[in-house]
Amino acid sequence: MSIPRLYVQADLSAGSELPALPGQGHYLGQVMRKAVGDPVLLFNGRDGEWRGYIAAIRKDKASFMPEALQRPQAASPDIRLLLAPVKRDALDWTVEKATELGVRHIQPVITARTVVGRVNIERLAAIAREAAEQCERLDVPEIGEPLDLHRTLDGWDGAPLLVGDARGKAQPLGVVLAGKAPPIGFLVGPEGGFTGQELDAVRRRAFVLPAALGPRILRAETAAVAGLAVLQALAGDWAVPT
């Protein structure tokens, strides 16, 4: 049976017992049927991956004892997804897949045609943590607080920001990415697309790079995952031999 891999918030060092996060005790004891002494793998996004064991477990509470460093810390490439929130299931799925694809930061962006109300940052962060545990990442992407599109653009640090152009005459994404390296952002609009005013605001920014995502119109979540995969393959850590 595979060894549970868990994200923790405390610092990791040999011989320092640390608490489990809420829900991890129940998961280990009731779902995985684990007991004191069973091995676990632990990571916190700072100290690498550690092999350890369950030091205590009772109902929903547990603690761990790290023993030895398994893998040193390595950061994911600085690839950022800026996404107009879509319906809950599609948004949850997109956050999960973006985490698996190695995105470092996920920024919900509110546009004129955004149809989703409140964005539950805590739920999205939990989804990202679970996806990171499963895909063996050593870090967890940050989920930003939702920001208005114009405020997002005003606060951007000048890194190349790719914007999917569904109907324009932009160059293919692979061509636009030629010679580029992280940090890179990828902006995906709402299901109804950006308004004309929003498109003007986006396109007049010097750091914005329009890019075509093929001859078909894609759903927002499809565009996000497809674009990130191309970005990772051509400019991210997929291009680096493992």
Per-domain boundaries in the chain: 5-71, 79-239
* pLDDT (0 to 100) of residue 239: 80
* pLDDT (0 to 100) of residue 167: 66
Do 96 and 132 touch, CB atoms closer than 8 A?
Answer: no
pLDDT in tens, the chain (242 residues): 589 999 999 999 998 999 999 999 999 999 999 999 999 999 999 999 999 999 999 888 999 999 999 999 988 899 999 999 999 999 999 999 999 999 999 999 999 998 777 899 999 999 999 999 999 999 999 999 999 999 999 999 999 999 987 666 789 999 999 999 999 999 999 988 899 899 899 989 999 999 999 888 899 999 999 999 999 999 999 887 66
* pLDDT (0 to 100) of residue 1: 55
Is the peptide bond between 160 and the residue preceding it cis, with omega within 30 degrees of 0? no
Q: How far apart are alpha carbons 66 and 54 in whole angstroms? A: 9
Amino acid at 115: V
CATH superfamily of the 79-239 domain? SPOUT methyltransferase, trefoil knot domain (3.40.1280.10)
* pLDDT (0 to 100) of residue 198: 93
* pLDDT (0 to 100) of residue 117: 74
The CATH class of the 5-71 domain is mainly beta
* pLDDT (0 to 100) of residue 136: 94
* pLDDT (0 to 100) of residue 164: 86
Torsion angle defined by CA atoms of residues 59, 60, 61 and 64, in that order, rounded to the nearest 10 degrees: 100
Tokens 């990171």 belong to 132
Tokens 């970005």 belong to 231
Q: How far apart are alpha carbons 163 and 148 in whole angstroms? A: 16
The pTM (predicted TM-score) of the whole model is: 0.93
* pLDDT (0 to 100) of residue 126: 96
Tokens 């990442």 belong to 137
